[in-house]
Amino acid sequence: MTIHSGMMHHMHKRTLALIAGMGLAAMACKDSPSVTDLNNVSAEAVSGALTPASNQLLVTGLLNGIRGDLDGRYLVFGETLARDFYRLDNAENRYITETLGGLADYSGFLGGGAFSQFYFTVRAGNTVLNALPSATGLSTSDVSGTRGLVRTFNALSLYRALELRDSLGIAIDVNHAIDDPPAAFVCKPNALASISSSLDSAATDLAAGGTAFPFTLPPGFTLNGSFNTPAAFLRFNRGLKGKVELYRALEHSKPNAGSLATALTALNSAIGADPTTKAGLAAGVWSTYSTAPGETKQPIADANIYLNPSVGDSILAGDARASKIVTVTTRTLFGVSTKYKSPLTDPANLTQVTPVMTVAEMVLLRAQVKIEQGDLVGAASDINIVHTISGGLPPIAVPASKSAAISAVLYEKRYELLATSAHRLVDLRAYSRLNGTWLKKELAGDVFQAALPIPKRELDTRGVTSITPTCS
């Protein structure tokens, strides 16, 4: 796929071509409220001035992209590299041989996967943004609120793309006509800076978004807490801002000195009062799934997904999150062996919800910020919010060292956020723990692969054999 952004009918045409070429199955794009098939949006539906009806259609399509991006490529690839998952399929060994047994092939489904999907979602968002200036039937605050939500989710999509490519970089400047030259790749520090800036622009839009969005949002915005107004959704935006700023501070090649303070301010704003209940920790935006005709089922409900044995072996006795782990008959394939699975990937759980971001994650991110600031007492306090409420465990003592504090917060994140994102891969890289010092070498060819390669089609489109991202 050439990384561009055009109108929705172009998106549909290009998406179908890519899917056919890659041999991937198109995911249904419907959600409550009921709308027409978003895999087949007609040009007429989005041509001319944007209206409240077409705005609803396009925003719902964008959110379906956000939900669909949490699939068996992004989650399985990322969680396998992070030593949380094995996907053991007799018919396909590359889930192991190209993650734990060696490097991914840039021309194969693993090396070329979990990339274009995020740009499809960004293109859907840019279709809305490009149409907003000529919108009819939408007030100034309606336009601002729409722009704030779309910019926030575009930033999330780009961040997800960066999670799996890391120092190889990603394309950012993609809002161009479909026949323009492909967008340049930029380095990770610049990508993070751009994503952070976009989140700030989105926050300004949300602040001017009035009391309600001009569209109905899917149920995941009110499943745990209410995030379905511009002011309430701003909490999600600030949580994501804090996350991005934390990793700007932790970036090895070019750490950003001011990011820790910025992250702390954003996360404090997002969290508000410290949560005291499981419901308070679960508050956030969630992706919901359905078995209704034409709807999207939980994309990692897969009988072939097992847990890396370290997940089951490392959980503390009495941790309530052991409910995410079940012991099964030992399975050995392609040189690895495990006896653990998770209800989160059970093929019977086709409507299993998945968090996009919750207060629990925000609290643990804040603990990471405090660790970097040398505030181990404050970090322990945040760790204990999740450790005692969600884990049901006695509080930990203040860690004796920064390294011990990092281990404590990574434990919480592993079990609190299991099978929800590429967070653990990001953290293992950030703390220089994706190596034989901290992890067991699982196969003879295990090189502790830190990122998936840039897909071959991106190189071919540019007529090059490698990409060096621009960084200034």
Alpha carbons 176 and 155: distance in angstroms, whole number: 17
> Which residues in the chain land under pLDDT 70?
1-48
Within a domain: residue 121?
yes
Give 171-193 pLDDT, tens digit per residue. Answer: 999 999 888 999 999 999 999 99
**Helix (H, G, I), strand (E, B), or coil: what is residue 302?**
coil
Within a domain: residue 71?
yes
Kindly compute the dihedral angle of the four CA atoms of residues 358, 258, 435, 401, in this order, to the nearest 10 degrees: -90
pLDDT of 270 reads 98
pLDDT of 235 reads 98
pLDDT of 49 reads 85
- Expressed as residue numbers, the domain containing 54 is 8-301+350-452
Within a domain: residue 465?
no
**Among candidate residues 44, 80, 27, the one with its CA nearest the CA of residue 419:** 80
In this prediction the pTM is 0.92
pLDDT of 48 reads 67
> Domains in the chain: how many in total?
1
Half-sphere exposure of 371 (CA within 13 A, CB side): 26
**113 close to 77: Cβ distance less than 8 angstroms:** yes
Q: How far is CA 181 from the centre of its chain?
A: 27
pLDDT of 296 reads 85
**Helix (H, G, I), strand (E, B), or coil: what is residue 329?**
strand
Distance (Å) of CA 61 to CA 33, 35, 52, 90:
11, 9, 14, 35
Two tokens, residue 452:
């998936």
Show Cβ contacts of residue 245 under 8 Å, excluding neighbours closer than 6 positions: 196, 256, 259, 260, 262, 263, 266
Two tokens, residue 75:
């989650």
The helix/strand count (H/E) of the chain reads as 17, 8
- Quote the DSSP letter at residue 233: H
Q: What is the CATH number of the domain that holds 147?
A: 1.25.40.390
The total of other beta-carbon atoms located within 10 Å of residue 133's CB is: 10
Within a domain: residue 326?
no
**Helix (H, G, I), strand (E, B), or coil: what is residue 348?**
coil
Two tokens, residue 261:
């303070």
**29 close to 68: Cβ distance less than 8 angstroms:** yes
Within a domain: residue 334?
no
Alpha carbons 82 and 429: distance in angstroms, whole number: 9
Two tokens, residue 36:
């027409």
Within a domain: residue 258?
yes
**3 close to 183: Cβ distance less than 8 angstroms:** yes
Within a domain: residue 179?
yes
Describe the strand order of the beta sheet including 326-333 as a list of residue ranges: 85-87, 305-307, 336-341, 326-333
Kindly compute the dihedral angle of the four CA atoms of residues 270, 271, 277, 279, in this order, to the nearest 10 degrees: 10
Alpha carbons 228 and 230: distance in angstroms, whole number: 7
The total of other beta-carbon atoms located within 10 Å of residue 221's CB is: 24
pLDDT of 286 reads 97
Within a domain: residue 173?
yes
